[in-house]
Amino acid sequence: MDKKESQKPKYQILKEYIIETIGLEKLEPGDKIWSENELAQKFKVSRHTVRQAISQLASEGWLYKVHGKGTFVGDRIRRKSNKIKTIGVMTTYLNDYIFPSIILGIDEVLSKAGYNMVLGCSYNHHDKERMCLENFIRADIHGVIVEPTKSALPNPNLDLYRQIIEKDIPMFFIHGCYKELDCPYVVVDDIKAGYIAARHLIDLGHKRIGGIFKIDDIQGHYRFKGYQMALHEAKIDLKDLNVLWFDTDDKREEFIKFDKKMFRELTKRCSAIVCYNDQVALKVMNIIRKKGMKIPEDISLVSFDDSQLAVVSEVKLTTVAHPQKKLGRIVAESLINKINGGKGKDKIKMEPELIIRGSTKEYK
């Protein structure tokens, strides 16, 4: 047993002892520790050895020394890194839609707690996502908030996420989480949201209810699932033809590349459509209007998120609200709590809320 200890250099043992004792004796930052000579006597080593141990601890931030006064316990905040704590935040988009509000909520909490926020944006592409993550890791951040990129698809950047987890850097996902990772998250209950949306239409008497969902996003799948559940509960057959799927690139370029014929069919067959989000609803609204049909008289629309867009057009959108700023605040608070070693809820689901406006109407 002596061997194991004696394999370690004496200064190493001393270092460990000092760190341990700081913890045990509950020394606060600024408290004085023993002088070099005291330690040397106590451990029966030379002062040189003590100095080696102490100077290394000092350069690591555990201690600081003042000439002529003594050696003191370092500022605990500075122990891990001299620098201010920084949180990496990555979302799929930055300036659009609900994202500014989410980021605002995060910033409110982080800046109040004295954290810096490093912002990255994946533009919902895996290569950009990878770049951001690499930046985060290199920047030596203290926590991460991520909105996953194409969360319903296999992710090529899981190695980086695992690296973050292995480094014990607290990480929260928002909106969804890669199913391969078991990570804390704050999400809106999208299944419920989908259910609420469809249920609202059913309650209004609609029976032929179509849906447009995003296929590369886990939120799209969940909202679809809720929609499906509501229809099933109401014993309405879900016809595959009534559901259209699109993906990120469709949306960004000119949206709804999917067969125009299919869309025409959809509007003919259905009296109501559940739209993946407000953006989609607006585009659908424009197309329908161009066909000479009216909303909500001819077709009812329900969308998701309650973004600024929802109230922009003449017909305000009935939409299932996303908590936006509140979600930002909650995820930031949870993350800080985790960083400070607190035991909070790991998986948080926020309740969606239906906001009824002008885009839905009773089916006569």
Partner DNA sequence: AATTATTTGTGCGTATGTATC
Partner DNA sequence: AGATACATACGCACAAATAAT
Q: Which is nearer to DNA, 69 or 268 (CB)?
A: 69
> Which of the residues 134 through 163 are near a copy of itself (CB under 8 A)?
135-136, 138-140
| 44 contacts a copy of itself (rule: CB under 8 A) | no
Residue choice 17, 19, 27, 51 for contact with DNA (CB under 7 A): 51
**E strands, 39-138, in order:** 63-66, 70-73, 86-91, 116-121
Q: Which is nearer to a copy of itself, 123 or 255 (CB)?
A: 123
Q: Which is nearer to DNA, 18 or 183 (CB)?
A: 18
Taking residues 23 to 42 in sequence order and writing x for each that binds DNA by CB under 7 A, - otherwise, the string is: ------------xxxx----
d(CA 362, CA 165): 50
| 62 contacts DNA (rule: CB under 7 A) | no
- Contact segment (CB under 7 A) with DNA among 48-56, 81-89, 141-149, 224-232 equals 48-56
Residue choice 48, 83, 232, 345 for contact with DNA (CB under 7 A): 48
SS3 content of the chain, % helix, strand, coil (to 5): 45, 20, 35
Q: Which is nearer to DNA, 64 or 93 (CB)?
A: 64
Q: Look up residue 32 and give its DSSP letter.
A: B
Please tell me whether the peptide bond between 296 and the residue prior to it is cis, using omega within 30 degrees of 0: yes
d(CA 287, CA 59): 65
d(CA 121, CA 329): 19
Please list the residues that pair with 188 across neighbouring strands. 350
Residues in CB range of 338: below 8 A, 6 or more apart: 143, 170, 172, 184, 344
Count the neighbouring beta carbons within 10 Å of the beta carbon of residue 144.
Answer: 25
Closest CA to 357 of 311, 324, 325: 311
- Out of a copy of itself, DNA, none, which partner does residue 247 contact, by CB within 5 to 8 A per kind? none
d(CA 307, CA 321): 8
Q: Which is nearer to DNA, 36 or 107 (CB)?
A: 36
Number of residues in contact with DNA under rule CB under 7 A? 24
Q: Look up residue 230 and give its DSSP letter.
A: H
| 9 contacts DNA (rule: CB under 7 A) | yes
Closest CA to 285 of 268, 267, 307: 267
- Contact segment (CB under 7 A) with DNA among 45-53, 148-156, 270-278, 353-361 equals 45-53
Compute the least distance from the CB of residue 189 to a copy of itself, in Å: 24
- Out of a copy of itself, DNA, none, which partner does residue 135 contact, by CB within 5 to 8 A per kind? a copy of itself
Q: Which is nearer to a copy of itself, 21 or 59 (CB)?
A: 59
- The residues of the shown chain that bind a copy of itself, judged by CB under 8 A, are 59, 83-84, 86, 94-96, 99-101, 103-104, 107, 111, 114, 116-121, 128, 131-132, 135-136, 138-140, 308, 312, 314
- The residues of the shown chain that bind DNA, judged by CB under 7 A, are 9-12, 35-38, 44-49, 51-52, 55, 65-71
